[in-house]
Amino acid sequence: MKFSAVAVFAFWYASLLWATTCQGADKLDYWIDPDTHLMWTAADNGSGLSWIQAQRYCRDLTLAGFHNWTLPSIDDLQRLVGGADSKSAYRIKAPIKLSGWQWSSTPGKQDGEGWALDFGDGGRASVAAGDSGLNRALCARKADRKPSR
């Protein structure tokens, strides 16, 4: 039995959405935001990175068969802020594990800075690009493409 590429893609996308909606990110390596259709990694990278290292981490990431991960914009990160304070002290309206502030791809106020977001209070900060202390990489991608092979 032969299937068209469109039918295969439709089946794949439907199963991806079903798995994300019905099973949650605790069983998957990603979560798809139903409002923005962005696919997010289920956790940040887990340790301090500079702004350039965070961009490279996402660009080089292969997860769930996808190679087109990016560091999200500060506005995309801000859309995830919400929900009640959790035991981890992060306010995020997604089943995503965080371990610090999150770098964005958005350049900061001055040359040599990038915007980072604190999910503890939802605040943004323009941070020196070389600062790696609390800053992490949480990667995202558009959920409308098939996995890269």
Q: Grade residue 7 by pLDDT with cuts at 50, 70 and 90.
A: very low
CA-closest candidate to residue 64, choices 119, 16, 132? 16
User: pLDDT value at position 28?
Assistant: 80
Rounded to 5°, angle at Cα 92 from 86 and 95: 90
Each residue's pLDDT tens digit, 14-65 = 333 333 333 344 458 999 999 999 999 999 999 999 999 999 999 999 999 9
pTM of the entire structure? 0.76
pLDDT of residue 132: 86
pLDDT (0 to 100) of residue 144: 74
